[in-house]
């Protein structure tokens, strides 16, 4: 049972988190974060799962306030917000507002501070954030008519400037149907790489230490890194040769996150897009990659217990979200055993000869 002291500590922790969320809004509005700042933001997210939601709510509040910035009543709102901020600095409120009310007040107060400091530098510069949880897929209609189909456990940021359409895939996978606009390139940054298109259909995935691009229609340019401001990013090295335009339809590019190395191979469109219909299709792929994809749909995660399991190859068709069927198939034919732990299942190796496996004519593991 919590007492008054515990409640005070919780109030102070919430106040601090709200202040930090507002501060990150300001820092994000000033431009892209440096690697050190991004590490600092990631560490803040890691401190408490609610921090990410607080920041998302703060951004939404700022956008809503900004949309009304030219209305006559906004001047009064800004003045009230500034007074509230000053009063909050002088005294502890006997009863504090709920988190979302406090977020809106903090956001409005920071709007005042930025405006008084010389203009709304953050105006329209904060990205929209779209995310899915484990097992959830989502289709997002973007402002220019483009469409993004998000796989499970995916985070996508979107920001449209006057002459650019910029997106960041922080985790997971997304497929894009890009509205044609030759004057505004459509770029997706993921894993230190940049995919640029004008009008096309393609998917981008972050998995293991790779960034994977499948082109279904049109053409894209894939570059290594986003480049310094005012300078183009370096080219990828596909099969040892620098290249920019490296994909034709029905091909997949696999790039290593920490190097310029990349490879291009044919892709079966139906297999590559099977995740949109709830299927996970593996064709001679390492277990490490398969487990990461399975985990996008699993609340109780799988973990690879040793390098031997990670390097095993797997082929098969599985229903996304049916983790038990995946475990049963893998342990039936590969030298792998499943060990239940706290909130996870660990896959460990042991000595046994692999054999063929078929489940209802649909699944196989090799």
Predicted pLDDT of residue 309? 95
Distances (CA, A) of 270 to 214, 250, 279, 280, 342: 11, 10, 11, 11, 37
pLDDT over threshold 50, residue 75: no
pLDDT over threshold 50, residue 152: yes
CB 337 within 8 A of CB 350: yes
pLDDT over threshold 70, residue 145: yes
Q: Of the given ranges (68-77, 152-161, 308-317, 338-347), which has the lowest mean pLDDT?
A: 68-77
pLDDT over threshold 90, residue 202: yes
Predicted pLDDT of residue 328? 95
pLDDT over threshold 90, residue 318: yes
Mean pLDDT over 18-22 rounds to: 77
CB 284 within 8 A of CB 257: no
pLDDT class for 127, splitting at 50, 70, 90?
confident
- pLDDT per residue as tens digits for the range 293-307: 999 999 899 999 999
Q: CATH number of 278-349: 3.20.20.140, 3.90.550.10, 3.90.1280.10, 3.55.50.30?
A: 3.55.50.30
Tokens for 353, please give them: 């000869």
Mean pLDDT over 328-353 rounds to: 89
- What is d(CA 114, CA 110) in angstroms, rounded to the nearest whole number? 6
pLDDT over threshold 80, residue 100: no
Predicted pLDDT of residue 355? 52
Higher pLDDT residue, 4 or 231? 4
Number of other residues whose CB lies within 10 A of the CB of residue 73: 8
- What is d(CA 213, CA 210) in angstroms, rounded to the nearest whole number? 10
pLDDT over threshold 70, residue 6: no
pLDDT class for 42, splitting at 50, 70, 90?
confident
pLDDT over threshold 60, residue 361: no
Note the CATH number of domain 128-268.
2.60.120.1440
Q: Of the given ranges (32-36, 302-306, 348-352), which has the lowest mean pLDDT?
A: 32-36
Predicted pLDDT of residue 227? 40
Q: 357, exposed or middle or buried, with CB in 10 Å at 0-12, 13-18, 19+?
A: middle
Domain ranges of the chain: 4-116, 128-268, 278-349
- What is d(CA 320, CA 275) in angstroms, rounded to the nearest whole number? 8
């Amino acid at each position: 049972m919590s007492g008054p002291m515990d409640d005070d500590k919780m109030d102070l922790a919430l106040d601090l988190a709200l202040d930090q969320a507002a501060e990150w809004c300001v820092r994000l509005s000033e431009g892209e974060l440096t690697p050190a700042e991004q590490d600092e933001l990631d560490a803040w997210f890691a401190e408490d799962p609610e921090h990410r939601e607080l920041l998302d709510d703060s951004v939404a509040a700022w956008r809503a306030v900004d949309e009304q910035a030219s209305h006559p009543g906004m001047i009064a709102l800004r003045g009230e917000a500034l007074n509230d901020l000053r009063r909050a600095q002088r005294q502890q409120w006997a009863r504090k507002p709920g988190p979302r009310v406090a977020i809106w007040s903090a956001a409005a107060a920071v709007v005042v501070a930025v405006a008084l400091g010389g203009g709304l530098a953050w105006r329209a510069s904060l990205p929209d954030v779209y995310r899915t949880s484990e097992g959830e897929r989502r289709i997002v209609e973007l402002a220019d008519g483009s469409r993004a189909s998000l796989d499970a456990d995916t985070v996508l940021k979107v920001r449209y400037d006057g002459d650019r359409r910029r997106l960041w895939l922080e985790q997971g996978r997304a497929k894009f149907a890009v509205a044609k606009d030759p004057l505004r390139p459509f770029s997706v940054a993921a894993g230190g790489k940049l995919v640029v298109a004008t009008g096309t259909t393609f998917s981008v995935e972050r998995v293991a230490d790779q960034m994977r691009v499948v082109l279904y229609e049109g053409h894209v340019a894939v570059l290594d890194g986003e480049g310094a401001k005012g300078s183009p990013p370096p080219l990828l090295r596909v099969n040892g040769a620098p290249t920019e335009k490296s994909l034709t339809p029905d091909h997949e590019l696999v790039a290593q996150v920490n190097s310029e190395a990349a490879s291009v191979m044919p892709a079966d469109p139906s297999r590559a897009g099977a995740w949109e219909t709830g299927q996970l299709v593996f064709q001679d792929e390492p277990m490490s990659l398969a487990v990461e994809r399975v985990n996008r749909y699993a609340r109780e995660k799988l973990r690879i217990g040793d390098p031997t399991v990670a390097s095993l190859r797997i082929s098969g068709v599985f229903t996304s979200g049916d983790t038990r069927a995946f475990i049963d198939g893998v342990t039936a034919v590969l030298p792998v055993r499943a060990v239940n732990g706290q909130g996870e299942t660990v896959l460990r190796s042991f000595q046994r000869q692999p054999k063929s496996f078929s489940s209802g004519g649909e699944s196989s593991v090799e």
